[in-house]
Amino acid sequence: VQLVESGGGLVQPGGSLRVSCTASGSIFSINAMGWYRQAPGKQRELVAVIRSGGSTNYADSVKGRFTISRDNALNTVYLQMDSLKPEDTAVYYCHANMRTAAWDRGYDYWGQGTQVTVSS
């Protein structure tokens, strides 16, 4: 089972960017998918999460600017980032809690990370 991210890059302040993450492998079900980020010298922090039922949570710092969505048929989660600020610069990591079998209680998986840089 693996998570593969795409869509990071360089964007000017006020701009938009969308990152995506697709889960592949022997997947029975996906409980929750989300995005974390880690800036240099800082701890990794939760950005947004979306659960199997569709409920979402966002970090206060991104509320109203970022939108998380999910395509269950494609095992893919998206993070639409609008009104980007320099302080959003970080490596963004995809996270998923997935079950590989019916008796599996669910385990955490991480992507390799994608760099998002907001700078003029």
Residue corresponding to tokens 């199997």? 52
Largest distance between two CA atoms of the chain: 50
Cβ–Cβ under 8 Å, residues 4 and 113 = no
Looking at residue 97, its pLDDT comes to 96
Task: Give mean pLDDT, residues 42-54.
Answer: 95
Looking at residue 89, its pLDDT comes to 98
**H or E segment at 22?**
strand 17-24
- How, if at all, do strands 2-6 and 45-51 pair? unpaired
Q: Which of 53 and 66 is assigned the larger pLDDT?
A: 66
State the pLDDT confidence band at 62, using cuts at 50, 70 and 90. very high
Looking at residue 102, its pLDDT comes to 87
State the pLDDT confidence band at 104, using cuts at 50, 70 and 90. confident
Looking at residue 74, its pLDDT comes to 95
Gap between the Cα atoms of 114 and 35, Å rounded: 11
